[in-house]
């Protein structure tokens, strides 16, 4: 039984419809809230509740690993302003030797009490393996499990000179009581994918490894900070440089940069920030500024080599925390990383000198946590690889910003389109291959305020496409890989007077709809993942504490490739799962969808 009386809540809900004209003196803004004890729906048992992020099953889910290796066990209590947790990494001794067909990182977390969501990074030798965030606990306790395919980091797992590091800054005092207990294990699998009838080679997913098409890199070098406060760069303004000088081995034949990013503080909801003119004209006391457009960029020696508009992950305290129990938002437990193939730049990098790899955020304000891993494939037949960058074009950029407002009402639009194309050859002991990397992204963003700023509508559409084409010296196509992603987001927040007429409380009515649609093709092999969440509800808030509310979230996830299909639909209402169905049969509509996709690609 929910603690709040449902009938009363519904009654209040309707009464409120007549109170809309009540001006609230601040504009609605997505914010971060604490789902505090009084608001927690009292469940029929006081058993700890399981939280989850919907994901596609991994091929290894039903298999017993060849060996399991504990990476860390730690309880994160009052860790604020402290150094990260660090321990010596020892490679698994009871495992048969590599190569492993599959390595899965298994994180188990538990917490009880009151606590905000917290961000966390896990690194091995400074190489980030997982960016995750925590769920806000309840007094009776919650727990969850994150499983991530980490096969692409295999070259690290046999090394004896590395530390494992986990950063999770938490506050424990009289008010915030939740301690996060974390266990991380690596599971190593050795199986023959054909014999076990599992298509390991198509374990793609935005939220999993993206370069399943090839064997893990020989070497991984982090582009990261010193590690005293975690290995991420903490970016809090758009002008400073956050960089590291790195020397690339002279027999590198392929290089892919993997970017990890999360946003916090005044930029946690960057996609909803109004421009500074709106804030200053209305004299608003908010730091959530600089407009609603951000790009995380990568530079080598001061030249732009790529950028990403990140997927807007919403943490469990975000916008309306009741939406995210017990099913969290897309990516909240396993934030996406973004791959950029930098092979066309080897012509600049293979000169035996160190080069400056810089990361930054256009218009970014406090604060972003950003780092990257360089995955390097080496030429085992030579100590020197020759390379040339044939073509260097800086991106073509088209951007329009429109703003129109009167007092607290108005609308702000951003339309951006960025194209870039790079091309370079690499002559290894085996062959001379030319890699062409083409990327396009389009972003449309709208932030609109109505009703004296008490109603806010945020819409964002991001579309990205990246094509990597490899051709032989004689011009014959060797491989073509394409990643295409769209992520639409709509957030509507309406601020009303509180239920109790208490001037310190207010009511927020919120709708969120967001999705992640990705298509990946590698030669003829095609995969599509579609993941969507729609949430609606209200909450009564005092300061940042949720006092009461109702919520429902519906999510559907579908996955199709040429071997298999998977789909799952789940509905969570008022903290409980009310519907959950899944299927792994390929309906005719899913295969025709795939046919349609093949014909476009």
Whose structure tokens read 């990383």? 337
- Nearer to ligand NAG by Cβ, of 84 and 274: the residue is 84
- Nearer to ligand NAG by Cβ, of 199 and 536: the residue is 536
The reply to whether 489 sits near ligand NAG by the rule CB under 6 A is no
Whose structure tokens read 């929910």? 2
Taking the complex as a whole, the smallest distance from the CB of residue 493 to ligand NAG amounts, in Å, to 7
E runs forming strands in 348-474: 354-362, 368-378, 386-392, 396-406, 409-427, 432-450, 455-471
Segment (H or E) for 511: strand 505-522
Nearest to 56 by CA among 203, 175, 171, 198: 203
Are 193 and 101 within 8 A, CB to CB?
yes
The reply to whether 389 sits near ligand NAG by the rule CB under 6 A is no
The reply to whether 392 sits near ligand NAG by the rule CB under 6 A is no
DSSP state of 32: B
The reply to whether 386 sits near ligand NAG by the rule CB under 6 A is yes
Task: Provide the pairing of β-strand 142-149 with 49-51.
Answer: parallel
The reply to whether 425 sits near ligand NAG by the rule CB under 6 A is yes
**In this chain, which of 5, 19, 50, 73 binds ligand NAG, going by CB under 6 A?**
73
- Nearer to ligand NAG by Cβ, of 401 and 532: the residue is 532
**In this chain, which of 452, 505, 552, 556 binds ligand NAG, going by CB under 6 A?**
452
Are 564 and 531 within 8 A, CB to CB?
no
- The stretch near ligand NAG (CB under 6 A) out of 96-104, 231-239, 261-269, 426-434 is 426-434
Query: 217 to 256, contacts with ligand NAG by CB under 6 A?
Result: none
Total residues at the site for ligand NAG (CB under 6 A)? 29
E runs forming strands in 525-587: 525-542, 545-561, 565-573, 576-583
Tokens of 510: 């919120």
The reply to whether 123 sits near ligand NAG by the rule CB under 6 A is no
Q: What is the CA radius of gyration of the chain?
A: 24
- Alpha carbons 419 and 424: distance in angstroms, whole number: 17
Nearest to 433 by CA among 381, 470, 389: 470
Contact flags string 493-522 toward ligand NAG, x per CB under 6 A: -x--------------x-x-----x-x---
The reply to whether 451 sits near ligand NAG by the rule CB under 6 A is yes
- Alpha carbons 492 and 509: distance in angstroms, whole number: 8
The reply to whether 434 sits near ligand NAG by the rule CB under 6 A is yes
- Nearer to ligand NAG by Cβ, of 108 and 413: the residue is 108
Contact flags string 6-45 toward ligand NAG, x per CB under 6 A: ---------------x-x----------------------
- Nearer to ligand NAG by Cβ, of 171 and 492: the residue is 492
- Nearer to ligand NAG by Cβ, of 114 and 451: the residue is 451
**In this chain, which of 277, 411, 486, 500 binds ligand NAG, going by CB under 6 A?**
486
- Nearer to ligand NAG by Cβ, of 73 and 397: the residue is 73
Reduced to 3 states, what is the DSSP secondary structure of residue 279?
helix
Query: 520 to 549, contacts with ligand NAG by CB under 6 A?
Result: 530, 536
The reply to whether 476 sits near ligand NAG by the rule CB under 6 A is no
Task: Provide the pairing of β-strand 303-308 with 505-522.
Answer: unpaired
Contact flags string 126-165 toward ligand NAG, x per CB under 6 A: -----------------------------------x-x--
Torsions phi, psi of 560, nearest 5? Answer: -135, 135
Longest Cα separation, the chain: 77
- Alpha carbons 294 and 310: distance in angstroms, whole number: 8
Q: How many CB atoms lie within 10 A of CB 402?
A: 10
Taking the complex as a whole, the smallest distance from the CB of residue 223 to ligand NAG amounts, in Å, to 16
| Positions in the binding site for ligand NAG (CB under 6 A) | 21, 23, 73, 86, 108-110, 161, 163, 181, 183, 386, 425, 427, 432, 434, 451-452, 473, 484, 486, 492, 494, 509, 511, 517, 519, 530, 536
């Amino acid at each position: 039984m929910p603690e709040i009386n449902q009938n009363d809540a519904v009654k209040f809900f309707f009464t409120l419809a007549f109170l809309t004209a009540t001006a609230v003196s601040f504009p609605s803004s997505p914010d971060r809230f604490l789902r505090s004890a009084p608001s927690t729906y009292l469940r029929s048992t006081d058993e700890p509740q399981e939280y989850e992020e919907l994901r596609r099953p991994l091929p290894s889910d039903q298999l017993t690993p060849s060996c399991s290796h504990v990476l860390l066990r730690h309880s994160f209590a009052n860790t604020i302003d402290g150094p990260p947790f660090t321990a010596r990494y020892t490679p698994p001794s009871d495992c048969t030797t590599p190569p492993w067909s599959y390595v899965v990182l298994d994180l188990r977390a538990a917490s009880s009490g009151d606590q905000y969501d917290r961000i966390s990074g896990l690194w091995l030798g400074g190489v980030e393996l997982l960016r995750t965030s925590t769920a806000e606990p309840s007094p009776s306790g919650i727990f969850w499990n994150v499983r991530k395919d980490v096969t692409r980091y295999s070259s690290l797992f046999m090394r004896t000179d590395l530390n494992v590091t986990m950063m999770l800054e938490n506050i424990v005092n009289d008010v915030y009581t939740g301690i996060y207990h974390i266990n991380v294990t690596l599971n190593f699998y050795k199986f023959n994918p054909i014999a076990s009838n599992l298509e390991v080679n198509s374990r793609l997913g935005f939220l999993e490894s993206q370069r399943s098409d090839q064997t893990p890199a020989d070497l991984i070098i982090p582009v990261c900070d010193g590690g005293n406060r975690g290995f991420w760069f903490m970016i809090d303004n758009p002008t400073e440089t956050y960089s590291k000088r790195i020397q690339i081995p002279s027999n590198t034949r392929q290089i892919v940069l993997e970017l990890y990013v999360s946003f916090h503080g005044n930029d946690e909801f960057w996609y909803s920030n109004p421009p500074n003119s709106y804030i200053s004209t209305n004299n608003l006391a908010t730091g959530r500024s600089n407009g609603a457009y951000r790009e995380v960029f990568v530079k080598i020696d001061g030249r732009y080599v790529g950028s990403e508009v990140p997927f807007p992950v919403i943490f469990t305290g975000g916008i309306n925390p009741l939406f995210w129990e017990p099913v969290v938002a897309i990516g909240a437990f396993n934030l996406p990383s973004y791959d950029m193939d930098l092979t066309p730049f080897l012509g600049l990098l293979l000169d035996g000198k160190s080069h400056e790899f810089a990361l930054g955020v256009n218009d970014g304000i406090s604060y972003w946590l950003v780092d990257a891993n360089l995955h390097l494939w080496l030429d085992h037949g030579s100590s020197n690889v020759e390379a040339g960058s044939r073509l260097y074009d800086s991106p073509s950029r088209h951007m329009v910003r429109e703003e129109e407002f009167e007092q607290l009402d108005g609308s702000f639009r951003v339309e951006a389109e960025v194209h870039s194309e790079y091309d370079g050859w690499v002559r290894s002991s085996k062959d001379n291959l030319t890699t062409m990397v083409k990327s396009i992204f389009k972003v449309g963003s709208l932030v609109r305020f109505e009703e004296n700023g008490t109603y806010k509508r945020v819409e964002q559409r991001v579309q990205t496409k990246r094509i990597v084409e490899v051709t032989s010296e004689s011009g014959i196509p060797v491989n073509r890989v394409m990643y295409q992603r769209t992520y639409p987001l709509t957030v509507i927040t309406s601020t009303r007077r509180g239920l109790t007429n208490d001037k310190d409380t207010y009511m927020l009515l919120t709708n969120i709809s967001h999705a992640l649609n990705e298509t990946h093709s590698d030669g003829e092999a095609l995969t599509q993942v579609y993941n969507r969440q729609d949430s609606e509800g209200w909450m009564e808030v005092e300061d940042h504490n949720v006092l009461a509310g109702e919520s429902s979230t519906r999510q559907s996830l579908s996955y199709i490739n040429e071997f298999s299909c998977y789909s799952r639909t789940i509905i969570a209402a008022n903290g409980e799962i009310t519907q959950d169905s899944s299927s792994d049969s390929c309906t005719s509509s899913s295969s025709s969808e795939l046919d349609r996709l093949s014909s476009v690609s």
